[in-house]
Amino acid sequence: MAVLNIVKEGDPILRKTSRPVEEITPRILTLLDDMVETMHAAKGCGLAAVQVGVLRRVVVIEDEDGTLYELINPRIVARAGTQEESEGCLSIPGVYGITRRPRAVTVRALDRHGNEVEYTGKGLLARAFCHELDHLDGTLFIDKMLRRLGRDEVEVDE
């Protein structure tokens, strides 16, 4: 496994649409492993492949309980409610803002073994699913930000 370089805002790749994974190859499995290691090293809770320079529809997310979600070709199949909470992004360090997202979402994807999986996330996990899947379509959280937060309004572990 390897810690990969995280692409930062301003790099045009972040605005591109990621391509579907046609076949789960050893290269895709290595990408998943490297993305998890990179996410942990950066102290993030989610990472999309485009953020490490790979235009594939692959996302990793780890929830507050330590559950790891490895999602290949994910899509949101249901949404419910709304929430307005703070977000940040590993590709836009130091910027935080309030976004409006669904309170709950259900995501369908393939796992690393090619099995179809479905997960429902609420609260922070719902935001993470939406945030990371937005990356796959070239959308950043700042595009949906209602209000930027000042440094004194953000709880950051540094």
Average pLDDT, the chain: 95
Residues 143-158 pLDDT 10s: 999 999 887 776 644 3
Residues 28-48 pLDDT 10s: 999 999 999 999 999 999 999
**Which whole number is the average pLDDT over 114-143?**
98
Q: How far apart are alpha carbons 126 and 103 in whole angstroms?
A: 6
Q: Which sequence positions are flagged as catalytic?
A: 132
At residue 15, the pLDDT reads 98
Could you tell me where the DSSP H helices lie in 109-156?
124-136
Question: How many CB atoms neighbour CB 27 within 10 A?
Answer: 11
Q: How far apart are alpha carbons 29 and 85 in whole angstroms?
A: 33
**What token pair was written down for 124?**
């922070």
Superfamily of domain 12-153: Peptide deformylase (3.90.45.10)
Q: Which of 157, 138, 155, 6 is nearest to 86 (CA)?
A: 155
Residues 61-101 pLDDT 10s: 999 999 999 999 999 999 999 999 999 999 999 999 999 99
Residue type for position 127: R
Q: Where are the domains of the chain?
A: 12-153
At residue 158, the pLDDT reads 38
Q: Which residues pair with 69 in a beta bridge?
A: 61
Question: How many CB atoms neighbour CB 107 within 10 A?
Answer: 24
**Which whole number is the average pLDDT over 16-27?**
98
Could you write out the DSSP letters of every residue in 24-64? --HHHHHHHHHHHHHHHHTT-SEEEGGGGT--BSEEEEE-T
Q: What angle do CA 18, 22, 23 make, to 5 degrees?
A: 125
At residue 155, the pLDDT reads 60
